[in-house]
Amino acid sequence: MNTRIYKGQNKQWKAETNIDISNDRVINITTSKTMTGSLNTNVSVSERADGFLKHIRFVDYNKIYNFSIPARITEKVVSVQHNETLNILDDIINDVVKFYEELDSNKA
């Protein structure tokens, strides 16, 4: 697990963590400012395919785990909110595994 906190192209603070959960799936946890000014921590899952990460909207796992409207979005605010989500990583992984078990059982 590796977390990176940096200023993105829009000069706003952003935090990203990627976690391999299987040979072909990666959990992506991202904390960033939205267009409405809120700070969201989003968890999504991508699949490795042909050397790329692929995420299919409305099919693959995607959920907002943390939402706030801070007065200012600083590096510290982004880091604290991102770490709050990382503190429940076991619950997130369990939720992701359950999601894909249900998805796979519906395909059969």
Share of the chain above pLDDT 70, in %: 99
pLDDT of res. 99: 94
What is the per-residue pLDDT across 37-77, written as a single tens digit (0 to 9) for each?
999 999 999 998 888 999 989 899 999 999 999 999 999 99
pLDDT of res. 51: 85
pLDDT at 108 over 70: no
The CA distance from 71 to 37, in Å, is: 9
What is the per-residue pLDDT across 93-105, written as a single tens digit (0 to 9) for each?
999 999 999 988 8
Q: What is the pTM of this model?
A: 0.91
Residue 69 in contact with residue 7, Cβ under 8 Å?
A: no
Mean pLDDT (the chain) is 93
The CA distance from 9 to 30, in Å, is: 15
Pairing of strands 52-54, 2-7: unpaired
The CA distance from 105 to 101, in Å, is: 6
pLDDT of res. 75: 97
Residue 31 in contact with residue 12, Cβ under 8 Å?
A: no
Mean pLDDT value across residues 25-38: 95
